[in-house]
Structure 1
């Protein structure tokens, strides 16, 4: 009887103590989120949906911006010895000067006061574009000697296109330093600015350093790129016949090697091209004609030395020889 009384008393005391503990926890509890936060976020989301995102602003209009220090940092980051005056000129586009001139005239100031004593990058851009075109052409001919002139022109055209140049320029931080009338900077303006940077590097450090720069940042864009993604060939079988005729090799004979799912929605055919009873190449396709064209493309890649398992391009300093630089300068 006494033991039962003590047990009930202990349970009662424990219950009272537990209630006190819970009561203390409830009194000291703190909400981490304010009550007005949910309504505020819903209001901001609705405002963003109605008005859209805010227009982008140039980096130069934000806080903690030192243009001279940024230009110096750009030169040091690339490990190149630029002339700072030429590099600053390379970032000034004609559209920026025209926009600034109109902005100052709209304030009612006379033309003499609104004149800008700045020089645009037109000459540097033209010089850099000419050097880039000639250097990459010679580099492609030296790296792929079996590639015809049409293929070389297509590869060089891909490397000097606005999309590739703008991709390289943005990853090097050129868009933050570019003085343009529009924000974000258009690809055409980035293209001319990057060419002006190349022209400034040629005048500052010479043709050899500029060749290294083009090899490292532009020629490396060929890594993982297929030849016929850059060079559009309408009739690959006809081109293959021409190339084999030049090399005095018997003409190819297409043969169906194997097929699967011919009576299904997704058939697959493999066609092989044989020359003098030797297999030149084979390719797949949804139709026999498509497989034959793909096999012709595979054979052309082998003839031109542009296969997927080819030897990697040599980007070491010994790759550039003086005749290559001199031929780029003479052009």
Structure 2
């Protein structure tokens, strides 16, 4: 009894002590955001909505920028041996020189002192554009020998267009190094600069190395592209008749193979083209005319060798002509 009384009294004393300790502890609530943050955020959002986003700045005006190091890194990143002087010239556009001279005149600098001792990339760009068109034309004729000259011109025109070249150049980091009067750099200036880079590579490493560069970065843009999305053909059936006549093949005869939902708002027809009782191609369409044109396009793809299941182009790197290790060891 005595021991139980002592234990209960000890537990009661401990509980009273804990209550006193808890009364002395003050709990403070900590907010994750300050009270002024809500009003400040609201004002900044309202200002952004009224004034719009700030104008973009060139990468050269941002901190931690070394132009010489960036140009050299561009050459090393592409694994190409550029002449740094030619590569720097390739990035200087005439609009940048004109804008810089006007800015210096506006600051009151003399005309002689305002003149920049820099050379623009007009000559390099013309050299690169001519080399690009010549190489891509030869590459298309070698890859698709049955393709007519109109188709080759369509493919070359697509690969050298502003959209494709600007897309490739921006992904290679050309935009950050381009000296232009406008920011962001327009597509035509990006196109002009990229052609100048190709001209600088041709003068630095030769025509063969430049051809591999164009094959790897421009010719690969044909992957996943349909021929008639690049080359617009108004009358595919007439073109098919011309191609079959050149090859002394009987003219095609369109026949309805099957149809579905003819009495609905979404009909589907399959038309087959037969030549000498042999099926050349078949194509679907919402109308008989559309299905016949699609079948003609399918037949033309087969004739030109531009089908979806064609053999992929060879984009492997050039083989290094080195002596095998076994032979070199045995010779020693």
Q: What TM-score do you get using the length of structure 1 for normalisation?
A: 0.89
Q: Which residue of 2 aligns with 1:231?
A: 231
Provide the C-alpha distance between the structure 1 equivalents of 2:24 and 2:209, rounded to a whole number of angstroms.
76
Q: Which residue of 1 aligns with 2:199?
A: 199
- Go from structure 1 to structure 2 and tell me whether the alpha carbon gap of 1:267 and 1:105 turns closer, same or farther (over 3 Å shift): same
Residue 266 of structure 1 pairs with residue 288 of structure 2: no
CA shift, 1:203, in A, is 0.3
Q: Indicate the larger mover: 267-276 or 69-78.
A: 267-276
Aligned length: 311
Spell out the pairing of 1:291-310 with structure 2 (5 A cutoff).
291-310=291-310
- Go from structure 1 to structure 2 and tell me whether the alpha carbon gap of 1:62 and 1:274 turns closer, same or farther (over 3 Å shift): same
Spell out the pairing of 1:161-200 with structure 2 (5 A cutoff).
161-200=161-200
Spell out the pairing of 1:9-88 with structure 2 (5 A cutoff).
27-88=27-88
CA RMSD of aligned residues (A): 2.4
Q: Indicate the larger mover: 31-40 or 281-290.
A: 31-40
Residue 122 of structure 1 pairs with residue 132 of structure 2: no
Note the residue ranges of structure 1 that are not aligned, 5 or more in a row: 1-9, 320-331
Provide the C-alpha distance between the structure 1 equivalents of 2:115 and 2:196, rounded to a whole number of angstroms.
23
SS of alignment partner, residue 315 of structure 1: coil
CA shift, 1:318, in A, is 5.2
1:66-119 deviation digits (Å, cap 9, x = unpaired): 000000000000000000000000000000001001111111222111010000
SS of alignment partner, residue 27 of structure 2: helix
Provide the C-alpha distance between the structure 2 equivalents of 1:23 and 1:312, rounded to a whole number of angstroms.
80
CA shift, 1:38, in A, is 1.7
CA shift, 1:29, in A, is 3.2
CA shift, 1:317, in A, is 3.8
CA shift, 1:17, in A, is 7.7
SS of alignment partner, residue 271 of structure 2: strand
Q: Which residue of 2 aligns with 1:105?
A: 105
Higher relative CO (CA 8 A, sep ≥ 6), structure 1 or 2?
1
SS of alignment partner, residue 27 of structure 1: coil
1:222-251 deviation digits (Å, cap 9, x = unpaired): 000110111000000000000011111111
Q: Which residue of 2 aligns with 1:7?
A: none
1:160-202 deviation digits (Å, cap 9, x = unpaired): 0011000000000000000000000000000010000000000
CA shift, 1:28, in A, is 3.8
Residue 290 of structure 1 pairs with residue 285 of structure 2: no
Q: Which residue of 2 aligns with 1:316?
A: 316
Highest CA radius of gyration, 1 or 2?
2
SS of alignment partner, residue 256 of structure 1: strand
Provide the C-alpha distance between the structure 1 equivalents of 2:73 and 2:23, rounded to a whole number of angstroms.
61
Provide the C-alpha distance between the structure 2 equivalents of 1:113 and 1:317, rounded to a whole number of angstroms.
49
Q: Which residue of 1 aligns with 2:326?
A: none
Note the residue ranges of structure 2 that are not aligned, 5 or more in a row: 1-10, 320-332
- Go from structure 1 to structure 2 and tell me whether the alpha carbon gap of 1:143 and 1:95 turns closer, same or farther (over 3 Å shift): same
